Amino acid sequence: MPETIQPAALRTDGVLQLPLPALSLLSDLQRRGACCAWCRTTLTAETAVDAGERPAVDGGQLFPRGCRKCAGRAAYQLLWEHSRACDVCRTDPTCPVSVAATRLMQEAEL
Ligand SMILES: [Zn+2]
Ligand SMILES: [Zn+2]
């Protein structure tokens, strides 16, 4: 069976690489994860959800984080796009990407 899980979607530590707003829309605070990558709410260690460190296309490094609500919405978007392309999800409800995204959606209480 071909490997269809996008390797970038789920890191080995279980953190999802959530889909982010366009890089040009992110402030320095958002790039560092000091405030939510989507709604710009200031984050604390208790409220922040890791959105997946990644290199930025402009050469920098992103450490994006989000509030629970926004991360949940991003997880929903990721799951929607992922599940249509993933052969594992078709037959196996325990696809790790799906499980991780569903957990974020539940934590957001969407
Ligand atoms: Zn937010
Ligand atoms: Zn899947």
Residues with beta carbon < 5 A to ion ligand 1? 36, 38-39, 41, 67, 70
Residue 1: inside a domain: no
User: How close is the Cα of 86 to the center of ligand 2, in Å?
Assistant: 5
Residue 8: inside a domain: no
Residue 2: inside a domain: no
**Is 74 in the same domain as 92?**
yes
- pLDDT for 14 equals 84
For 19-75, write each residue's pLDDT tens digit.
999 999 999 999 999 999 999 999 999 999 999 999 988 888 999 999 999 999 999
Tokens of 29: 């605070």
Ligand at minimal distance from the CA of 86 is 2
**Is 62 in the same domain as 25?**
yes
User: How close is the Cα of 73 to the center of ligand 1, in Å?
Assistant: 9
Ligand at minimal distance from the CA of 64 is 1
Q: What is the dihedral of CA 52, 94, 5, 108, to 10 degrees?
A: -30
**Is 79 in the same domain as 101?**
yes
**Is 37 in the same domain as 52?**
yes
User: How close is the Cα of 74 to the center of ligand 2, in Å?
Assistant: 16
How many structural domains comprise the chain?
Answer: 2
Show the domain range for 52.
21-66
Q: Are 75 and 110 in contact (CB under 8 A)?
A: no
Residue 7: inside a domain: no
Residue 28: inside a domain: yes
Q: Are 89 and 82 in contact (CB under 8 A)?
A: yes
Q: What is the pTM of this model?
A: 0.87
Residue 74: inside a domain: yes
Ligand at minimal distance from the CA of 91 is 2
